[in-house]
């Protein structure tokens, strides 16, 4: 009998039986199912199985979190179910068949925009900082420093100058920072066409070249089109072919033209690959793909995308500035969090960027409401933490989720707590709706996008800072109070009540039937084990992980390391407990009994071992500092995956796990990053 045979049978029954499974595979920590009917999966029964640490649904896959023992569980499950596992790519393909056309489009948009989000966030932070330097006025008393900065007016009253007007240093900093902010937003089409080619599996350098051809300095800048007379464009900004002309106009900061152009390039390349012999494909496929795509971009797709983009921004702008803008703000504020659950929120990135490109003020009223929604859901989950702070497991999940939401990433809060228990989710929606209503009523505007949650105030236009802080107060306070009120009044608490009842029943049964089990660890109580960094790089809080399962601490407690070198070494002396075939993750049990997991990158299981080299085998004894895995950081990033690496203690119920030192900070291999105290 396999180790998990009985539990595998329970999972098979709870998931709806063999006939409900379209495909099954696994990664380093979880079983991944594609089900014929998601409603047949009994989540409550599944989460009662002792080996199961939780469930999670994403991109058409129903994921059951197991932990380090997932390969053993997977083998037992396939044995008892008779369902043959498939590759990760096959599972992803099957998952797409569970999605309707809108979900497929949103999934594609998510996969295109996700790789460029870090650049957008950086750009938003830079623009926010420049916003402060250029717009915050103060009565600078004392010596006049910069040319043009008056300290006193003719009547002797102090003059309110901005920081850049007074300080040559900060004026220089502001001027220098214009460079990366322009690179990110003005040349955004280059990032989009590259990301499209990456997602479609076509030649990425062709995508980059196409993007450059959309923003070349030889074209009339998109920002200058509105102010340039049509006669001047017809005379000076065209390609003249004798019998006809084509407007020579750029698409700086334009999203939809770049998206359409990138898709045309990829589909052309896929078309020609199937029809041109391989021996000459290197010559003809790039030529027959890039040139027609470029022609289409400047004749049909670019103007069409520009028109569609302006139409969308016109409709949204009408909602933001029209006579019932308060109603638009309330509806958008309430619905943004549900949009995150469906994935439709990725479309708002494109709309926000389009608004900034199209409006005369170069601002957007949509992004402030997104930041407020982040805060509202964060306050709802923080209230849940406050009420359950003495419940160790619930606190471990809810507090990091609240912090993450306050910093602009709401998925851990939504999937880990709010949607699961309903009433915090509704409280967050109500608070967000009220904040959105106020935001549109007071016409709050942002100069940039990308900075969400509480830090989002940096992106707000300075003259709207005070109104935004009022909206922030509503988004932070109302959901917190409502969550507590709903719980005490038993409003929308059925999901949590059922879970509490099932836990109580399970505790009673366990108390009656179970006998004490000796600990498998060898450490005495209060023994402290030092855990060294297996990587060189920047160590950060685990709650900042992209994957909600790691961010919520479901798999274990520890830290996140952004590696600067592609070598992973043993953090302690011990035995390799698991090494995945894809070599992207490795488990280790230390000589003291600390069970650890190191997972290189996020979703890197999809690389099937490409870019990874294992230097140990499962069952090997290793000493602290021994090389375990080598990996190619550039290859992982080029494939579009984050390289951040969770370093966690998975048997954290046996150990108190505490970070060593402050975060974020740079660490070297072998430097202490965690201590595990035996409970």
Taking the alpha carbons at both ends of the chain, their separation in whole angstroms is 32
Give SS3 for 491. coil
Helix (H) or strand (E) segment spanning residue 466: helix 465-488
Rounded to 10°, the helix 204-215/256-275 angle is 140
Q: What is the rounded distance in angstroms from the CA atom of residue 106 to the CA atom of residue 112?
A: 10
Nearest to 649, CA basis, from 552, 546, 559? 559
Q: What is the rounded distance in angstroms from the CA atom of residue 192 to the CA atom of residue 198?
A: 10
Q: What is the rounded distance in angstroms from the CA atom of residue 256 to the CA atom of residue 595?
A: 48
Task: For 533, list phi and psi in degrees, rounded to 5.
Answer: -70, 125
Angstrom CA distances, 313 to 188, 345, 367, 435, 498, stand at 17, 15, 13, 22, 45
Asked if residues 435 and 471 have their Cβ atoms less than 8 Å apart, the reply is yes
Instruction: Mark residue 306 as left, alpha or beta (left: phi above 0; alpha: psi -120 to 50; beta: remaining).
Output: alpha
**How many Å separate Cα 660 from the centre of its chain?**
26
Maximum Cα–Cα distance across the chain: 93
Task: For 661, list phi and psi in degrees, rounded to 5.
Answer: 85, -175
Task: For 233, list phi and psi in degrees, rounded to 5.
Answer: -60, -45
Pairing mode, if any, of strands 137-139 and 160-162?
antiparallel
27 carries an active-site annotation: yes
Q: What is the rounded distance in angstroms from the CA atom of residue 590 to the CA atom of residue 576?
A: 9
Task: Quote the tokens at residue 247.
Answer: 């407007």
Residue 590, beta-bridge partner list: 574
Q: What own/partner pairs with CB < 8 Å and gap ≥ 24 does 505-512 have? A: 506/48
Q: What is the rounded distance in angstroms from the CA atom of residue 387 to the CA atom of residue 313?
A: 42
* Look-up of token digits 């209230």: 383
| Set 15, 21, 27, 210: catalytic member | 27
Q: What is the rounded distance in angstroms from the CA atom of residue 9 to the CA atom of residue 71?
A: 16
Q: What is the rounded distance in angstroms from the CA atom of residue 191 to the CA atom of residue 211?
A: 7
Give the Cβ contact number of residue 299 at 10 Å: 13
Nearest to 337, CA basis, from 370, 291, 301, 292? 370
Report the catalytic residues: 27
């Amino acid at each position: 009998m396999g180790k998990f045979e009985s539990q595998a049978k329970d999972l098979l029954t709870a998931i709806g039986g063999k006939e409900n499974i379209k495909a099954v595979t696994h990664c380093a920590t979880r079983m991944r199912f594609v089900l014929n009917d998601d409603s047949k999966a009994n989540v409550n029964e599944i989460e009662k199985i002792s080996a199961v640490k939780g469930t999670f649904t994403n991109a058409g896959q129903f994921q059951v979190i197991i932990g380090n023992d997932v390969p053993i569980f997977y083998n037992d499950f396939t044995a008892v179910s008779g369902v043959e596992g498939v590759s990760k790519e096959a599972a992803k393909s099957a998952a797409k068949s569970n999605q309707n056309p809108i979900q497929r489009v949103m999934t594609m948009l998510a996969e295109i925009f996700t790789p460029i989000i870090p650049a957008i966030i950086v750009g938003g932070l830079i623009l926010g900082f420049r916003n402060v330097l250029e717009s915050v006025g103060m009565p600078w008393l004392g010596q006049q420093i910069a040319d043009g900065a008056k300290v006193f007016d003719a009547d002797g009253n102090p003059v309110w100058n901005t920081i850049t007007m007074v300080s040559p240093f900060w004026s220089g900093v502001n001027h220098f920072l214009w460079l990366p902010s322009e690179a990110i937003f003005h040349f955004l089409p280059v990032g989009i066409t590259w990301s499209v080619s990456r997602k479609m599996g076509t030649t990425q350098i062709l995508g980059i070249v196409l993007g450059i051809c959309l923003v070349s300095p030889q074209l009339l800048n998109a920002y200058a089109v509105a102010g340039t007379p049509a006669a001047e464009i017809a005379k000076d900004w065209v390609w003249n072919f004798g019998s006809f002309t084509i407007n020579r106009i750029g698409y700086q900061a334009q999203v939809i033209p770049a998206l359409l152009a990138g898709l045309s390039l990829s589909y052309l390349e896929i078309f020609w690959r199937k029809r041109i012999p391989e021996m000459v494909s290197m010559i003809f496929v790039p030529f027959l793909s890039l040139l027609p795509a470029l022609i289409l971009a400047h004749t049909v797709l670019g103007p069409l995308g520009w028109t569609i983009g302006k139409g969308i921004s016109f409709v949204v702008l009408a909602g933001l500035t029209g006579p019932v803008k308060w109603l638009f703000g309330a509806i958008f504020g309430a619905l943004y969090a549900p949009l995150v659950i469906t994935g439709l929120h990725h479309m708002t990135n494109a709309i926000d960027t389009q608004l900034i490109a199209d409006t005369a003020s170069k601002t957007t009223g949509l992004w402030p409401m997104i930041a407020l929604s982040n805060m509202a859901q964060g306050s709802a989950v923080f209230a849940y933490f406050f009420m359950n702070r003495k419940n160790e497991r619930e606190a471990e999940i809810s507090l990091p989720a609240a912090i993450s939401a306050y910093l602009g990433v709401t998925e851990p809060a939504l999937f880990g707590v709010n949607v699961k228990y309903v009433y915090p989710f509704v409280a967050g929606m109500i608070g967000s709706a009220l904040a959105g209503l106020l935001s549109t009523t007071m016409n709050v505007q942002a100069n940039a996008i990308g900075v969400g949650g509480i830090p989002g105030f940096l992106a707000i236009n300075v003259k709207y800072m005070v109104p935004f802080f009022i909206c922030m107060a509503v988004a932070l306070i109302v959901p917190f109070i409502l969550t507590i009120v709903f719980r005490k009044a038993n409003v929308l608490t059925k999901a949590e009540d059922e879970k509490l009842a099932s836990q109580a029943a399970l505790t009673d049964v366990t108390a009656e039937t179970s006998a004490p089990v000796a600990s498998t660890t060898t450490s005495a109580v209060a023994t402290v084990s030092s855990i060294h960094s297996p990587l060189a790089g920047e160590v950060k809080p685990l709650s900042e992980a992209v994957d909600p399962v790691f961010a919520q601490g479901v798999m274990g407690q520890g830290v996140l390391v952004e590696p600067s070198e592609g070598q992973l070494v043993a953090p302690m002396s011990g035995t390799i407990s698991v090494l995945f075939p894809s070599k992207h993750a490795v488990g280790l049990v230390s000589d003291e009994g600390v069970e650890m997991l190191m997972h290189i990158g996020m979703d890197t299981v999809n690389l099937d071992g490409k870019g990874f080299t294992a230097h140990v085998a499962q069952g090997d004894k290793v000493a602290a500092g021994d090389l375990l895995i080598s990996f190619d950081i550039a290859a992982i990033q080029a494939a579009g995956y984050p390289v951040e690496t969770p370093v966690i203690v998975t048997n954290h119920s046996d150990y108190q796990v505490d970070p060593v030192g402050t975060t974020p900070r740079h660490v070297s291999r072998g430097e202490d990053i965690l201590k595990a105290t035996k409970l």
